[in-house]
Amino acid sequence: MTPVVEVRTLRKVYSIEGGEDVVALRGVDLTIDPGEFVAVMGPSGSGKSTFMHIVGLLDRPTSGAYYFAGHEVSALGADALADLRSRALGFVFQAYNLLPRTTAIENVELPMIYAGVPAATRHRAAMDALDAVGLAKYAQHQPNQLSGGQQQRVAIARSIVNQPQLILADEPTGALDTVSSEDVMTLFRRLNAERGMTVMLVTHEPDVAAHARRLVTFRDGSIVSDEAVREKVLA
């Protein structure tokens, strides 16, 4: 089985003008296989966000190797990275990042518009994605007509509409109340368990991380633990 993500001795150093360099990652080694649900935790400054940005092809390592689905991507040009991001990765952020004057289905269609997918095809795929997150009947609602939890579900639908090889979720429950957070995390678990989607989640909340099946903890730019999480039973 070819890993979705494989990093070897990954280092990231930020040069600060007039000051000392900041080492964000110190030789990180990690593999994520297809179908895994991995939570990444660590205190502020631990390197977890830098790691996600590199995995998400939003930043480059200073040294080391990054293989995505078996292909070394560290040295790809900007256009090739953008193309790979649009085809193979789905992103979910804390702030939803929905277009405010656009309906739910139009928001979900956005990645397919950028990919040049025909209108009829992307409409069907967007409806299927909204149905997968339980929001098909809200397809024509704009974000201001939806709760925070529903908006995040639209964002999740947008992240899965292109059937990506990896979903990256950066503090996806950070703006939600407890009930909505639980609903969103249950949805991630269903997408992982029932559709086999590979998910990597960054969070600072232990109760959110507990929904994953594997917990990787960063501290001072290094991985200090990598352990299985007891799987919860889906309701």
How does pLDDT run across 170-199, given as a tens digit for each residue?
999 998 999 999 999 999 999 999 999 999
pLDDT band at residue 74 using 50, 70 and 90 as cut-offs: confident
Place of tokens 């994605």: 129
Determine whether 140 is exposed, middle or buried from the number of CB atoms within 10 Å of its CB (0-12, 13-18, 19+). Answer: exposed
The domain limits of the chain are 5-228
pLDDT band at residue 230 using 50, 70 and 90 as cut-offs: confident
Q: Which of 167, 128, 172 is nearest to 151 (CA)?
A: 172
Nearest-angstrom CA–CA distance, 3 and 160: 19
Q: Where does residue 120 fall: left (phi above 0), alpha (psi -120 to 50 degrees), or beta otherwise? A: alpha
Was domain 5-228 assigned CATH 2.60.40.10? no
What is the per-residue pLDDT for 116?
83
Q: How crowded is the C-beta side of 89, counted as CA atoms within 13 Å? A: 22
Q: Is the Cβ–Cβ distance between 141 and 104 less than 8 Å?
A: yes
Nearest-angstrom CA–CA distance, 203 and 39: 7
Angle at 67 between CA 57 and CA 52, to 5 degrees: 35
Q: Which of 199, 230, 227, 235 is nearest to 35 (CA)?
A: 199
Based on its alpha-carbon atoms, the radius of gyration of the chain, rounded to whole angstroms, reads 18
